[in-house]
Copies of this chain bind each other. A is one copy, B any other.
Amino acid sequence: MRSMDVGVLGATGVVGQHFVSRLARHPWFEPVWLAASERSEGRAYADAAPWRLAAPMPAGAAGRTVEPCTPGRGPKVVFSALDASVAGEIEEAFARAGHVVVSNARNFRMDPLVPLLIPEVNADHLAILPEQRAQKGWTGAVVTNPNCSTVVFASALAPLRQFGITTVVVSTMQAVFGAGYPGVPSLDILGNVVPFIGGEEEKMERETLKILGSDGGRVNHAARVSAHTNRVPVIDGHTITVSVALAQQPDAAAVAEAMRQFKGRPQELNLPSAPQPAIVVMEEPNRPQPRLDVDRGDGMAVVVGRVRPCPVFTVKFVAMSHNVVRGAAGAAILNAELMVAEGMI
């Protein structure tokens, strides 16, 4: 039934724990190999991983011995929850050794030969992989998912490409989860707003244009994008407000309908982690809200609301999705599902 062995690099951190938790109930993938830094190597996973999720640690993971991050030993497919400080070198070594690395790290995201993938949005970017192998001399591959705030943004924009996206201003209200544990100190964020997240605005602006771009991600989308990124005291769920100019000037109803109808390869292939629908468009005037809507589609849906005319551009709206599921572990797992379904793994 569970036909494919997979591994997790960086399995003991909080994002790694999300991988372990979601994979434990995955219909295709069996997480048989959990790797982490030398500090954890050789210990039982239950001892090495300071578990921080509400869902209990999967029984199958608890007794597993943590492996070193050494290429060649583990399964062909490995998910990477590694910290960016080490991900570049390790992921490259794994790809060189023949592994397919499905990574959540930022290191290779902007590499023109590496797909920065949201399966609903740019499944066709996987077509770059043969060239990746050829030019990099890898027998494996690296595929990445975007930054957690980019996912909700690029996904909500994707259905609007048909109308000609020319200009976008986005402002975020991001949950504290995002930089792993311990992350944001409570002294900084309790009852507060921090109107700055290092490097986040640049990531949102650049990653989005690559994802919406063409030729396997080598040609950026031509839209102009300006991002304001802010941290708010919310646990899970990044909320964004978006004002967008569209060349064809559709009305708000047409934009909402385009979002509602939007589907990508995951929905067509009915992949296990694919939310149905891809985008939930809410009618209530005060939604989406992270506390009420973050778990839609098992945490994989992008939830949109308040699609309405914009006095400056064409339309404006609110979008929200789960920053650790749709924005990290769930995103990578969906990437792997797509590659399996497309026969690329």
Mark interface residues in A167-207 (1 if CB within 8 Å of B CB, else 0).
Answer: 11101010011000111111111111111100000000100
Which of B168, B241, B291 makes the CB contact (< 8 A) with A230? B241
Give every chain B residue within 8 A of A239 (Cβ-Cβ). Answer: 193, 195, 230
Give every chain B residue within 8 A of A53 (Cβ-Cβ). Answer: 292
Whether B168 and A193, one on each chain, are in contact in the complex, defined by CB atoms closer than 8 angstroms, is: no
Show 21 residue pairs from A and B whose CB-CB distance is below 8 angstroms, ordered by the A residue.
A54-B291, A54-B292, A54-B293, A169-B243, A171-B171, A173-B230, A176-B190, A181-B187, A182-B185, A185-B185, A187-B235, A190-B234, A191-B191, A193-B234, A195-B287, A195-B289, A195-B305, A226-B316, A228-B243, A228-B316, A230-B239
Whether A233 contacts B191 in the complex (CB less than 8 A), given A185-B182, A312-B226, comes out as: yes
Whether B52 and A285, one on each chain, are in contact in the complex, defined by CB atoms closer than 8 angstroms, is: no
Q: Which of A294-325 contact B (CB under 8 A)?
A: 295, 305-306, 310-313, 316, 318, 320
Tell me how far the C-beta of A164 lies from the nearest C-beta in chain B, rounded to whole angstroms. 16
Give every chain B residue within 8 A of A188 (Cβ-Cβ). Answer: 182, 186
Alpha-carbon distance between A186 and B171 when the two chains are bound, in angstroms: 22
Whether A225 contacts B191 in the complex (CB less than 8 A), given A230-B239, A232-B232, A293-B54, comes out as: no
Give every chain B residue within 8 A of A3 (Cβ-Cβ). Answer: none
Give every chain B residue within 8 A of A169 (Cβ-Cβ). Answer: 169, 243, 312-313
Q: Which of A94-118 contact B (CB under 8 A)?
A: none
Q: Which of A74-95 contact B (CB under 8 A)?
A: none
Give every chain B residue within 8 A of A184 (Cβ-Cβ). Answer: 185-187
Give every chain B residue within 8 A of A243 (Cβ-Cβ). Answer: 169, 226, 228
Tell me how far the C-beta of A173 lies from the nearest C-beta in chain B, rounded to whole angstroms. 5
Which of B183, B289, B295 makes the CB contact (< 8 A) with A192? B289
Please, how many residues of chain A have a CB less than 8 angstroms from a CB on the other chain?
60
A135 within 8 A of B: no
A224 within 8 A of B: yes
Tell me how far the C-beta of A186 lies from the nearest C-beta in chain B, rounded to whole angstroms. 4
Alpha-carbon distance between A316 and B312 when the two chains are bound, in angstroms: 16
Which of B167, B194, B228 makes the CB contact (< 8 A) with A289? B194
Which residue of chain B lies nearest to A184 when distances are taken between CB atoms in the complex? B186
Give every chain B residue within 8 A of A196 (Cβ-Cβ). Answer: 285-287, 306
